[in-house]
Amino acid sequence: MKKKQRIETTCVQGGYHPGNGEPRQVPIIQSTTFKYNSSADMGKLFDLEASGYFYTRLQNPTNDYVAAKICELEGGTAAMLTSSGQAANFYAVFNIANCGDHVVSLSAIYGGTFNLFSVTMKKMGIDFTFLSPDCTDEELEAAFRPNTKAVFGETIANPALRVLDIERFAKAAHKHGVPLIVDNTFATPVNCRPIEWGADIVTHSTTKYMDGHGAGVGGCIVDSGKFDWTKYPEKFPGLCTPDESYHGVVYTERFGLGGAFITKATAQLMRDFGSIQSPQNAYLLNLGLESLHVRMARHCENGQAVAEFLAGDDRISFVTYCGLPGDRDHALAEKYLPNGSCGVVSFGIKGGRAAAEKFMGNLKLAAIETHVADARTCCLHPASATHRQMSDAELVAAGVSPDLVRFSCGLENKEDLIDDIKQALDAI
């Protein structure tokens, strides 16, 4: 039944398979705890000898149904939900990198992730080397150190909209005996499945397209089960040597390559940090997933139409959208994103910061928000919001021009979005 099932069907029906007389919709198990007949039964759970639920800080059935759907969509072997995308990326890296370790990351990544890596995880003793997507092979090679534990990138970077050459970075990671972790938030598995191109771990901010309605913050981690930790036991002792906090269990031995990474992240990181997604939010996330394939097609159609309109308007100084033939990442998009990328377009307005601010104020349909990937079109002018403290020169150095507008096309009629942009440009 699961064999050869197409992605649209998995969006609707994956993960939860009710039995005779059971609820059709994913049940919300709104319970912190679970009852057992004997202490011995519960003891087996604590020793990881039996699988089951005992406390929702670690695991909850509603979350696991929804994680199983995302796991199927990405083609992985195990998955877990987290309370946010930030928690997902933190867990994915911290599960294999400890104090004294090093990680190679693309520099074109989400600002929150960049801060997590360069400030907070650095304080924990983990060092990061940031590489441009345009780095040479020599620069890529030179970034690795004996204590490197992973390579990290985003399929479509937020907000730079650069497309990751997944095969290239997977090959480099594997050559150095470490996994490639890919944040697939903007593409979603509907448009790209990084595991098929060599990625080992996939993460998501489900807050974006997966939820799709601005309803709940959440994250997810999917393991491909393909990375052989046991080939490098000295690099990954947490997965390949006994965990004394669970009576000496060795994750790779007990749970195999398919289950070791997610079981360790649940048993250790979820236990100790508790960044669990609420079952209510997991339920809402699943409603979003049921229409993800339908919505992504419309987000992309609208993104393409808006990008093409902007590219043809001489009041616009530049447009970044990998679906445009002139875009610097168009060839990568044709390879990795043949059915479309996402609905986010960034562009500049001639006249600089002042013109961009006026344009934003003139918009009627598109709302000014610190959000993307929503059913409702939203936009942000980084120079007057997220990057407000920077001078024009500092903005340019950070790759954010003062006139840059990040425009996230929703699910409205594309002609209405273009009309809104036209009238906002006319009124500058």
Ligand X SMILES: *Cc1c(COP(=O)(O)O)cnc(C)c1O
Angle between the N-to-C axes of helices 414-426 and 292-311, in degrees from 0 to 180, rounded to the nearest 10 = 30
By the rule CB under 6 A, 323 interacts with ligand X: no
- 10, 188, 191, 205: which one contacts ligand X (CB under 6 A)? 205
Closer by beta carbon to ligand X, 217 or else 424: 217
By the rule CB under 6 A, 183 interacts with ligand X: yes
Task: Tell me whether the omega of the peptide bond preceding residue 242 falls within 30 degrees of 0, making it cis.
Answer: no
CA distances from 147 to 92, 98, 138, 182 (A): 17, 10, 19, 20
What type of residue sits at position 79?
A: A
Helical residues (DSSP H) of 265-367, grouped into ranges: 271-273, 279-290, 292-311, 330-336, 352-362
270: helix, strand or coil = helix
Residue with the CB atom nearest ligand X in the bound state? 85
How many amino acids of this chain bind ligand X (CB under 6 A)?
A: 16
- 59, 60, 86, 95: which one contacts ligand X (CB under 6 A)? 86
By the rule CB under 6 A, 302 interacts with ligand X: no
DSSP 8-state secondary structure symbol assigned to residue 289: H
By the rule CB under 6 A, 158 interacts with ligand X: yes
Count, in order, helices (H) and strands (E) of the chain.
Answer: 18, 12
- 190, 217, 305, 356: which one contacts ligand X (CB under 6 A)? 217
In angstroms, give the least distance from the CB of 158 to ligand X: 4
By the rule CB under 6 A, 113 interacts with ligand X: yes
Instruction: Determine the straight-line distance between the first and last CA of the chain, rounded to whole angstroms.
Output: 57
Q: Whole-angstrom Cα distance, residue 305 to residue 345?
A: 10
- 185, 281, 304, 346: which one contacts ligand X (CB under 6 A)? 185
In angstroms, give the least distance from the CB of 82 to ligand X: 9
Inter-residue contact 98 to 126 (CB < 8 Å): yes
- 74, 154, 327, 403: which one contacts ligand X (CB under 6 A)? 154
Closer by beta carbon to ligand X, 354 or else 385: 385
Specify the residue for token string 């919505």. 295
By the rule CB under 6 A, 200 interacts with ligand X: no
By the rule CB under 6 A, 207 interacts with ligand X: yes
By the rule CB under 6 A, 211 interacts with ligand X: no
The residues that touch ligand X, with contacts defined as CB under 6 A, are: 84-86, 110, 112-113, 154, 158, 183, 185-186, 205, 207-208, 217, 219
